[in-house]
Structures are given as C-alpha cells and as structure tokens.
Amino acid sequence: MIKLELEHFLPYRLNRIAAAVSQDFRSVYGPHHDLTIPEWRVLATLGQFEAISAKAIGQHSSMHKTKVSRAVRALEERRWLRRRPSEEDRREEILSLTALGQKTYREIVPKAVAFECHILDALGPEAEAVLNALERLEHIFNVR
C-alpha cells in the first residue's frame, strides 16, 4: 500500500502556505481596522474595481457567495460601502466604496504593498522564479 506523506504533498503544502500568508497578512489590516479576511478581500476588490456586483466580487476573490454577502453587510454597517441597482440587471446591485471606505482602503494599500515586498525580499533572487511558478499554476488551474 502506498502511503501519502501529507507534509510533502504539493496541494497540502500550497494550502498551508496560503493560509499562513493570509493569516500573517491579517496583521496589516486586522488590528487597526478590525477586518476579517473576507471583509478585506471585498474592500480590496472594491478598491481595485470601484463599482462591481457581489457576484463578481465572489468570482474575483474566489469566495463563496455567503462569505461575500456577510462581508458586504459588515462593510455596509460601517458605512464603508454603498449599493445601487444595476442598470443592466435590476435583480443585481452594484457595490462601491464610500468616502470612508476609500480612506480605509488608501490607508491599507501601502502596508499591503510593503508586506508583499517583505516576502519578495525574503525570497531574494528566487522571487522571480516563484512568481513565474505561481503564474504557471494559475494558468494550469485556470485561476484568474
């Protein structure tokens, strides 16, 4: 019988690394802004695209619609986002950041970029190879 050494199994290792990076990155936006990981992803997606549907946020951030919905509600309660009816589909709403949401996004982005730079610096000359490998994996698994 073949045994699988989980700690050497690539899918497991990728998942562990993603979870660890995500959790460590929470130190950038969590303490000062009290955001959960899904709330950060919604905020970041809205900051990037400015006006987008909850469904599109879920597709872009690879989050289940329930997590997106909860995060949207939480950000709306903080008055960080607003909703308006979609002109193309009245069943859908378009979300965008309020001035307060934009201010929060602008406060976090430089810290996020610095966090990424810290990781890339730690990888040293291997950083480009790692980024290329990630791009290849995204292509293989059709992750956009």
What distance separates the 2 farthest-apart alpha carbons in the chain?
A: 60
CATH of the domain at 47: 1.10.10.10
Determine, yes or no, domain membership for 1. no
Distance between CA atoms of 36 and 144, rounded to whole angstroms? 23
Report how far Cα 136 is from the mean position of its chain's Cα atoms: 20
Angle, CA of 84, 144 and 27, to the nearest 5°? 75
Determine, yes or no, domain membership for 101. yes
Token reading at 28: 């950038």
DSSP letter, residue 42: H
Number of domains observed in the structure of the chain: 1
Determine, yes or no, domain membership for 77. yes
Determine, yes or no, domain membership for 113. yes
pLDDT band for position 57 (50/70/90)? Answer: very high
Mean pLDDT score of the chain = 95
pLDDT digits (tens, 9 = 90+) for 23-40: 999 999 988 899 999 999
pLDDT digits (tens, 9 = 90+) for 79-127: 999 999 988 888 889 999 999 999 999 999 999 999 999 999 999 999 9
Query: Rounded to two decimals, what is the model's pTM?
Result: 0.90
Q: Hey, is 93 helix, strand or coil?
A: strand
Distance between CA atoms of 116 and 21, rounded to whole angstroms? 10
Determine, yes or no, domain membership for 128. yes
Its domain, for residue 38, covers: 6-140
Determine, yes or no, domain membership for 110. yes
